[in-house]
Structure 1
Amino acid sequence: MRRADVEFGSIPGLVRAAAERHRDREAVVDGRTRITYGELGERVERAAAACMAAGVEPGSRVAVWAPNTADWIVAALGAVTAGAVLVPVNTRFKGTEAAFVLERTRTELLFVTGAFLGTSYVASLRRAAGEGPGEGPLPGLPHLREVVVLADDAPAVFRTWKDFLAAGEAVSAASVRDRADAVRPGDPSDITFTSGTTGRPKGAVVTHAQTLRIYDTWSELAGLGEGDRYLIVNPFFHTFGYKAGIIACLLRGATMIPQPVFSVDTALANIAAERISVLPGPPTLHQSILDHPARAKHDLSALRLVVTGAAVVPLELVERLRSELRIATVLTAYGLTEAGGTVTMCRRSDPPEIISGTSGRAIPDTEVKVVGPSGEDLPPGRQGEVLVRGYNIMQGYFEEPDETRKAITADGWLRTGDVGVMDGDGNLRITDRIKDMFIVGGFNAYPAEIEQLMARHPDVTEVAVVGIPDPRLGEVGKAYAVRRRGATMTADDLIAWSRREMANYKVPREVEFVTELPRNASGKVLKTQLRSRAR
């Protein structure tokens, strides 16, 4: 089978091919908006023409700071078709955080939502960057020449989406095609910033060829196919949403149904009304669907494929998805931004215990190993840092050579910062982040391992463990747990149960019950917030 990076060459090549191959098939459903692949191709070319009219050159950075919508898809693909490098911006960022990313990448054009979750992003950005030495729409961001609001109205110094598109009518279709054809496979396609949960975010640079090859492989292993209807809850600013969502659908001719915010009620309604067949996302998404009291009122019978991933994926969750929702394929995977979003995946033939207990094996033509503190290779069953090597590894952090050298060894191995253990068949189980580990009286305690054990308690739906200071042992664990609805278990009950289930040094000395765990928009638990709360 011909590889996607060879067949299409670039993301603009993929968009054009998808528009031709699947012309009359539904491409995007966003509320009342329904767009075929042919129409999507036309809209993307219009957006590319408008980008060119706005002065976007090959290699220019163009950012999108907006939730999952059809306009996000068109704006992002239009920018990339015009030869730009896409900079997706986290919708949970405040104005100062977004301004940091825009200035760090010297972004020239920004697409921004008008308001989202009760926040005016335009006002937030103006507060953060409205003053400075520059002369553009935001003087504090001197490189930013144009801000386009994805709405019907905009402040005087910005442009509306409609006006922006109208300005592109002076650019010929032939000029757009020439610009798209000039994009090379090895050109950067995007700069995706790390979540910043442990420090200042860094921008990982990935090429067109890498993106196409990784997500062609992802689609093949997952079994995504033409005619699938894919509810994309994972945010587009994250690799899981943009690449395992938009790019994967373009590769296979699947229909994209973007959902801007995760609401279980909205998800259930979408799954039933749109006959959703594919629903990737974090385990909490699937758990909330399974536990929703009105689940039985919705027809979920079209669901056939779930892809999830996290340090802890309870076996019970995999079994319930298969038995209660009759989902034929449930897969787990592991990835990180610096490896293009995908490192390992389970295979569809794997048994449930491998799918729930591991994140699968290295994707084809890549390598994964586990090493000890001195960099020595560890045998199966030994816990250590996970290293990755292959075509999926980023080109580097954007204009940060020192940070890149820290992350990637001279012989091409990416240090993930994740702790894991591999079985004899190469299946990887992520046990923790190196930075999350704490030491109890000389013993290394890995929160994810403790969380996995505690998640077995029938009255616990979610749990997160952090290390807190202890005068005698140096550090001990504190657990933040979410009780199952109707449960009356106390903190002492859970600690006593834990003493029966795990070594004493692993047992949390404190338990605090919470209604939900703090997470970033990509679903990661914010341990930094929990540590601050514990202090």
Structure 2
Amino acid sequence: MFHVYGLVAFATGLLGCGATIVVLSKYELPEMLRAINEYAVTYLPLVPPILVAMVAHPKPLPLGQLRKVLSGGAPLSKELIEGFREKYPQVEILQGYGLTESTAIGASTDSAEESRRYGTAGLLSPNTEAKIVDPDTGEVLPVNRTGELWIRGPYVMKGYFKNTEATRSTLTPDGWLKTGDLCYIDEDGYLFVVDRLKELIKYKGYQVPPAQLEALLLTHPEIADVAVIPFPDREVGQFPMAYVVRKKGSNLSGRDVMEFVAKQVAPYKKVRKVVFVTEIPKNASGKIPRKDLIKLATSKL
């Protein structure tokens, strides 16, 4: 319930429509299937890794009266959508796009036909204005041009709690929310999310700030420098990977690093891969060139 997707799109949203909801204490595939069948669930909001698990299962899973699933958190690939439809033809698959700052509202596909536009997050939600802006010049871009998505609507937040600076950098005076997502809108009004302008790691739909993990790791007495990047994973989307520079004389192991973090963060923020290096590259302004590190990390995949 602490995540806006579960709180808004699932719990309060469906309750507001007069629906009965079933809430699990945590996600486990067998328990989810039990609940779907025991309570005759017809609609299931989920995130892409759960769809991956359902498609990867050797045989079709028993889904009872389930008729619709709504996926959010990351775009679904053509292969995943078609694989799901082939294995579960009785279930309609929909997608949605939103942020915590927009109360999980932004765009959605509301039919199987709309979802067949592979890669799309759908059409804009009701009462939503959107524009694609060049993040460098501020120029409003035409259709099929990629830039940062800005949205405006009655559901957009008023600001971050007790953080005026963050609010000022995210919201314009006339109410536009800078999403931090690189997107384009096609000639028919469908939204496509290309990449994240911000550097958040997307783990099972959760957002993990690399800088937060870096700050934590730098408190370790044997770590001299560190950089955290998203590492692609088929099951969870991305997970945090750390490049670590040991202090002189240290014999710190990768397991030591991962356990240090795991004791202090939520499970979805755990570092799950560690590579030791002699130095962390920095650009002229002192920032870590994460894209270069991502290319290095994935070059052998």
The TM-score normalised by the length of structure 1 is 0.38
Residues 301 and 325 in structure 1, CA contact (< 8 A), matched pair in contact too = no
1:403 paired with 2:166, answer yes
Q: Deviations over 1:92-137 (max 9, x none)?
A: xxxxxxxxxxxxxxxxxxxxxxxxxxxxxxxxxxxxxxxxxxxxxx
Which residue does 1:379 correspond to in 2?
142
Deviations 1:353-377, CA, capped at 9 Å, x for gaps: 32x3110121111111111021111
CA contact (8 A) 2:40 2:66 kept: yes
Instruction: Decide whether aligned partners of structure 1 residues 478 and 534 sit closer, same or farther in structure 2, where only a CA change above 3 A counts.
Output: farther
Structure 2 residue ranges without an equivalent (≥5):
203-209, 211-228, 236-261, 278-301
8 Å contact kept, 1:370–1:387 = yes
Partner of 2:95: 332
Cα distance in structure 1, aligned partners of 2:273 and 2:173: 35
1:455-484 alpha-carbon deviations (Å, 9 max, x no partner): xxxxxxxxxxx9xxxxxxxxxx9964459x
Per-residue deviation at 1:326? 2.2
Equivalent residue letter for 1:258: V
With over 3 angstroms needed to count, the CA separation of the structure-2 counterparts of 1:342 and 1:254, relative to structure 1, is same
Match 2:123 to one of 361, 382, 399: 361
Distance, in Å, in 2 between the alignment partners of 1:304 and 1:393 is 30
Give the Cα separation in 1 of the matches to 2:122 and 2:9.
17
Higher-Rg member (1/2): 1
- The code of the aligned residue for 1:243 comes to V
Structure 1 unpaired stretches of 5+:
1-235, 438-446, 449-465, 467-476, 484-517
Q: Which amino acid aligns with 1:307?
A: L
What TM-score, normalized to structure 2? 0.65
User: What is the root-mean-square deviation in Å for CA atoms of aligned residues?
Assistant: 3.1
Residue of structure 1 equivalent to 2:255:
none
Give secondary structure in 2 for the equivalent of 1:397. coil
Deviation at 1:286, TM superposition (A): 1.6
The verdict on how the C-alpha distance between 1:302 and 1:521 changes in structure 2, with shifts beyond 3 A counting, is farther
Deviations 1:194-222 (A, max 9, x none): xxxxxxxxxxxxxxxxxxxxxxxxxxxxx
Between Structure 1 and Structure 2, the one with more helix by share is 1
1:19-38 Cα distance to aligned partner (Å, 9 max, x none): xxxxxxxxxxxxxxxxxxxx
Equivalent residues, number: 223
What fraction of aligned residue pairs are identical, expressed as a percent? 31
Whole-angstrom distance in 1 between the partners of 2:275 and 2:45: 31
Once the two structures are superposed, residues 216-252 of structure 1 have per-residue CA deviations (whole angstroms, 9 ceiling, x without a partner) of xxxxxxxxxxxxxxxxxxxx11111111122122222
Verify the 8 A CA contact 2:149 2:178 in the aligned structure 1.
yes
The answer (yes or no) to whether the contact 1:339–1:394 under 8 Å persists in 2 is: yes
1 or 2 for the larger relative contact order (CA 8 Å, sep ≥6)? 2
Q: Output aligned runs, 1:124-523, within 5 Å.
A: 236-293=1-58, 295-296=59-60, 299-348=62-111, 350-354=113-117, 356-372=118-134, 373-436=136-199, 480-482=232-234
Q: Could you tell me how far apart the structure 2 residues matched to 1:421 and 1:375 are?
A: 15
* Equivalent-residue separation in structure 2 for 1:346 and 1:480 (angstroms): 25
SS of the equivalent of 2:113 reads coil
Report the CA distance between 1:340 and its aligned residue: 1.0
